[in-house]
Chains A and B, each alone.
Chain A
């Protein structure tokens, strides 16, 4: 798994590539540090697969940003990952663009 971050003003973009499963999720969790950013974009364009371990991280990130009055957007979601969000109803909770 590869995680790249890019900050532009108060917007933090985290680009993830690779499978997010139970084994790799802790690695992603360590990379989800938002600092002072008020807007976070998690780019999943290169994530072909995400299991419940990844969903949990997305939900935690969403709650963290909501708590500090910021926003979290999830971008570039592939159809296979979108299906997981749809099955669980997370599509209605998360801000998927």
Chain B
């Protein structure tokens, strides 16, 4: 397994779990209120959905934007700038959170009145609204620390935070709802967020934490953070818009009685949140590689992510096609004819899941690349514009099944349209990753698990390649060979008895740049003043003096050393 694959595989379970937990968090209050209070409780929580979406939108905007820009600056070895963005991200999360809480507090009566409900449901909505207000600050903060935790390579703390939030919410919301109704439910949710935040803050005390806050405040940086994550965050708004439009269309075209079928369809559409786990797992490495300008490794990590996305989409499609009744039971449809229609709808809509998985990945990748327009475009097309445009037309032609088919076809059509647009604007080969082929040709990557033979083989291979294939003089190719053998042997010695992966990239597009990454114990190998305890460490220290253009940076929990020769 390569270094990148190994890192990706380590992040993937926790990232997927985190996204699944987020999806379950969204469902938990509905289920708890629905089960304990009844249909009235379900209605109250459903009315809160737009508020949840707005808070999630703000959280995604700040958390994703900061983590992407931070990782990219780390990729460029600019720690100072990365720390400035990190600090501004925190100010932004706090500032937006407080502003949002104030706005929600002031708009409570007007917003709840606009729902067009009255009596117990209106009173319940207002009650829940008040106690949910602290979440407007806590959610952006906890999502910010969670995103930064991933960017810093600490998937474990992030997964722990989601477990704490989910369990804390459920453990508190159930008894509190039974005793205090909506107030109890909202308090449980708020405490769940608070518990998650406390767990996430533990990362700052961990040895592998490389995040450092600095004195910095810049509204322009807040703008950059928000612009960068607009595509990723816009998913929430598109989903909210689509839900609203579908509700209105189904009621007007097929009648209110068909809404339960739509509820089953929305469960499938909501599953797409879990696909974000793949991009979350790929983001720390992808952003660093993009920051380094290493298109070969960017292609490698995104290729891995694409394969996993396809597999996830396929597995979920097969499950939905084989067991649609699970979804039907979850939304509580008991009428046989409605249940049959819902099963058919679930099967049809699930055919779009592979396409949705790719849309989510493309959206995230364009966010990593800071191509906000494309990120927003592919998301808006797949999750709002095309479904809203195609569903009524297909419904008019083919009835209800036509509507579901249009929803399934939309992600594929969106990918096709984006491909055509990119080909038209930037050339046929630019889609999907915008990689520079000349740059890819001017680089090589070597992966190894550190043992003496593998290290010496890699050193010899690189030296031979640079000498015979690239025509480099023996002195320089020998120096690169020496650098690889000596530094990696030193890393191996420091990690005795431990399986350590390393990745060497050699780029000759602009001089010779060698980047050596390893997942062993963290230490700065480029420090020329380090104590020489062996002939090897003495040679490495002298090599560092001989190579003045060198940088070391702990990135996403691994050592990264860059040398320019």
Residues of A within 8 A of B (CB): 19, 21-24, 48-49, 51-52, 55-56, 59, 78-81, 83-84, 87-89
Contacts and interface: CB of A to CB of B under 8 A. Distances in A.
Contacts of A55: 535, 539
B539 A52 contact: yes
Contacts of A23: 452-453, 456
Given A49-B482, A79-B475, 9 more contacts: A22-B455, A23-B453, A51-B459, A78-B474, A80-B474, A80-B475, A83-B475, A84-B482, A88-B538
A55 B485 CA distance: 14
Contact of B489 (A22, A48, A88, A89): A22
Nearest to B476: A80
Contact of A83 (B453, B455, B478): B478
Given A19-B460, A21-B485, A48 B478 contact: yes
24 contacts: A19-B456, A19-B460, A21-B456, A21-B459, A21-B485, A22-B455, A23-B456, A49-B460, A49-B478, A51-B459, A51-B482, A52-B489, A52-B535, A52-B536, A52-B539, A79-B474, A80-B474, A84-B482, A84-B539, A87-B543, A87-B546, A88-B539, A88-B542, A89-B542
Contacts of B546: 87
B51 interface: no
A89 B482 CA distance: 16
A64 B384 CA distance: 80
Nearest to B538: A88
Interface string B230-268: 000000000000000000000000000000000000000
B316 interface: no
A87 B542 contact: yes
Contacts of A22: 452, 455-456, 485, 489
A87 B542 CA distance: 6
Contacts, number: 61
Interface string B477-501: 1110110011001000000000000
B548 to A, nearest CB: 13
B539 A81 contact: no
Of B478, B535, B543, chain A has the most CB atoms within 10 Å of the CB of B478
Contacts of B479: 80, 83
How many of chain B's residues touch chain A, expressed as a range?
20 to 34
Contact of A56 (B485, B486, B535): B535
Nearest to A23: B456
A49 B463 CA distance: 9
B474 A48 contact: yes
A49 to B, nearest CB: 5
B541 to A, nearest CB: 10
Interface of B: 452-453, 455-456, 459-460, 463, 474-475, 477-479, 481-482, 485-486, 489, 535-536, 538-539, 542-543, 545-546
Contacts of A81: 478
Contacts of A80: 474-475, 477-479
Contact of A49 (B452, B481, B489): B481
Nearest to A24: B456
A62 B408 CA distance: 77
Nearest to B542: A87
Nearest to A59: B535
A26 to B, nearest CB: 10
Nearest to A48: B474
A39 to B, nearest CB: 25
A76 to B, nearest CB: 14
A81 B482 CA distance: 10
Nearest to B490: A52
A59 B535 CA distance: 10
A56 B486 CA distance: 13
A19 B462 CA distance: 13
Nearest to B463: A49
Contacts of A24: 456
A-B interface, 8 closest residue pairs, ranked by CB to CB distance from nearest: A80-B478, A80-B474, A52-B539, A23-B456, A52-B536, A21-B456, A87-B542, A51-B485
Contacts of B543: 87
Contacts of B486: 51-52
Nearest to B452: A22
Contacts of B535: 52, 55-56, 59
B460 A21 contact: yes
A44 to B, nearest CB: 13
Contacts of B453: 23
Nearest to B492: A22
Of A23, A49, A81, A83, chain B has the most CB atoms within 10 Å of the CB of A49
Of A23, A52, A81, A89, chain B has the most CB atoms within 10 Å of the CB of A52
Nearest to B537: A52
Nearest to B540: A52
A1 to B, nearest CB: 12
Contacts of B482: 49, 51, 84
A49 B475 CA distance: 9
Contacts of A88: 538-539, 542
B296 to A, nearest CB: 26
A21 B542 CA distance: 18
A80 B481 CA distance: 10
Contacts of A83: 475, 478-479
Contacts of B536: 52
A49 B459 CA distance: 10
